[in-house]
Amino acid sequence: MKANILIVDDNKSVLSALDILLAPQFDHVKCFSSPNQIVTELRQRDYQLVLLDMNFKTGANTGNEGIFWLNEIKERSPSTSVVLITAYGDVELAVKALKLGATDFILKPWDNAKLLATIQSAIQLSFSRNEVSDLKQKEKALKQAFNPKDKYMIGSSPELMAVLKMVQKVAKTDTNVLITGENGTGKELVAREIHRLSKRNKEMLVSVDMGAVTETLFESELFGHVKGAFTDARESRPGKFEIAHKGTLFLDEIGNLSFHLQAKLLAALQNRQVTRIGANQPMPIDIRLITATNKDLERMVGEELFREDLLYRINTIHIEVPPLRVRGNDILVLAEFFLKKYAHKYDKPVPKLNQQAQEMLLKYQWPGNIRELEHAIEKAIILSDTKVLKPDDFYLRPAKVGKGGAASLKIEDMEQKLIGKALEAHPGNITAAAAELGITRQTLYNKMKKYEFL
């Protein structure tokens, strides 16, 4: 049977009798005559069962030491079953131990067939506990996946319709999809829509923000770990790949992944299997991969910042989500939607937009796209108490209103846009923004005055 058993008893003849009986039948049987080694051993391996003596000191029969070690085991490894060995058959002690989490009790001298049956069911119980713990992890991820962000895409512009048509086509297939577009354009929503319309929709879409995964946590987060693989790994945990098995894995901000980690990701995608840290068995993984980025990955490949082989693996289908400023009337449709949403949230009547406010929203460049529009509307609802919203009720940076209307290509407009982006990327840090733009602080100040950022 595939199981790891730890036997702890200070009576050497008991140890060797149990070893002779169990070693041929189970994967790994380890014997210790002192309980002091239990903690170290539990850190190193996943044990399904500990057979534990109740009385370690000669002559002691209170069972207190056994109870102490039972607690230690349960605290460190909740899924491990503990079966206690005692020569005294003390019922009260047995009840106490069972209440504290022992799975069963055996009396010395034992009957081999009965002992084996007890051991097998204790091991089964441990496996089920582990399954439950894995399911709980899945459930947690599921709850996160079904957050309020899970809603349909609003808008009717030809630009958005083209995206949705593409979404419908690729959703039926299992191909990898790369979604690009500026921040806040709805890339994650597109990913969710593909999953929702796919045959994998009974399973989960598991989303990972690659920009937020640290170098050290990358492997554990994506591939999982077994107990004891590193300090703090008190329980075995599945990685996002495993949780997404049979469903969709959405890797957001893929362009932020370091070159070194890109190789690890590529290996998992190529082999279609992952190995939890500390485990020796790889697990086959069946996922549809969707990635997203606001970066130009082709350019990054040219600059040797992104692996070409990884790009070819992830971009079988490429969907570009257009910025809000080119989606025309969608701006007003979305504005209406957010007006209703936030009026409801803040318990206010739904206001209307007057003509000038509508024109202003249509002309604005929306560098933060739909996310920025949503925040602008929420702020207007919170701060105003009128039934009709005017331009003054919105707190948009005037410098960002495109003089030439949407998608202007005038050099001045582009410069103004770049400055806006740099300031947004480095809030409150003019030096960093100037460095990113490749100009001096003073030049940046002058330009900020010119474009009314100050």
Ligand X SMILES: Nc1ncnc2c1ncn2[C@@H]1O[C@H](COP(=O)(O)OP(=O)(O)OP(=O)(O)O)[C@@H](O)[C@H]1O
For residue 208, the surrounding DSSP H or E stretch is strand 205-209
Contact of 210 with 254, CB cutoff 8 Å: yes
Q: Specify the residue, 348 or 371, whose C-beta has the smaller distance to ligand X.
A: 371
Number of H helices and number of E strands within the chain? 18, 16
**55 C-beta neighbours (distance < 10 Å), count:** 21
DSSP annotation of 198 reads: S
Q: For ligand X, give the closer residue by CB, 9 or 188.
A: 188
Q: CB 421 → ligand X: shortest distance, Å? A: 13
d(CA 391, CA 368): 19
CB of 179 to ligand X, least distance (A): 8
User: For residues 211 and 398, which CB has a smaller minimum distance to ligand X in the complex?
Assistant: 211
| Pick 160 or 274: Cβ nearer ligand X | 160
8 Å CB contact between 384 and 393: yes
Chain centre to alpha carbon of residue 81? 30
Positions in the binding site for ligand X (CB under 6 A): 149, 153-155, 181, 183-189, 252, 292, 294, 334, 370-371, 374
Query: To the nearest whole angstrom, how small is the minimum distance from the Cβ of residue 238 to ligand X?
Result: 25
Q: How far is CA 69 from each of CA 91, 122, 146, rounded to the nearest angstrom?
A: 19, 18, 41
Q: How far is the CB of 331 from ligand X (least distance, A)?
A: 11
Residue closer to ligand X (CB basis): 155 or 228: 155
Do the beta carbons of residue 73 and residue 84 sit within 8 Å? no
Closest CA to 310 of 275, 270, 273: 270
Distances (CA, A) of 38 to 30, 45, 195, 227: 11, 11, 46, 14
Q: Is the Cβ–Cβ distance between 67 and 96 less than 8 Å?
A: yes
Region label for 107, one of left (φ > 0), alpha (ψ between -120 and 50) or beta (otherwise): beta
| Of residues 221 and 330, the one with the C-beta less far from ligand X | 330
Residue 268 Cβ, how far from ligand X at the closest point, in Å?
23
Nearer to ligand X by Cβ, of 163 and 269: the residue is: 163
CB closer to ligand X out of 48 and 315: 315
* Closer CB to ligand X, 70 or 370, in the complex: 370
Which value, in Å, is the radius of gyration of the alpha carbons in the chain?
Answer: 31
Q: Which is nearer to ligand X, 181 or 224 (CB)?
A: 181
Closest separation between CB of residue 94 and ligand X, Å?
A: 56
Please report how close the Cβ of residue 151 comes to ligand X at its closest, in angstroms: 6
> Which DSSP string corresponds to 405-437?
-TT---HHHHHHHHHHHHHHHSTT-HHHHHHHH
- State in angstroms the smallest separation of the CB of 321 from ligand X: 6
| Helix/strand/coil for 130 | helix
Q: How far is the CB of 282 from ligand X (least distance, A)?
A: 31
Residue among 25, 31, 26, 28 nearest 11 (CA): 31
Pairing of strands 81-86, 49-53: parallel
Sequence-ordered alpha helix ranges (H) in 187-329: 187-196, 218-223, 240-243, 259-271, 297-302, 308-314
Report in angstroms how near the CB of residue 209 gets to ligand X at its nearest: 8
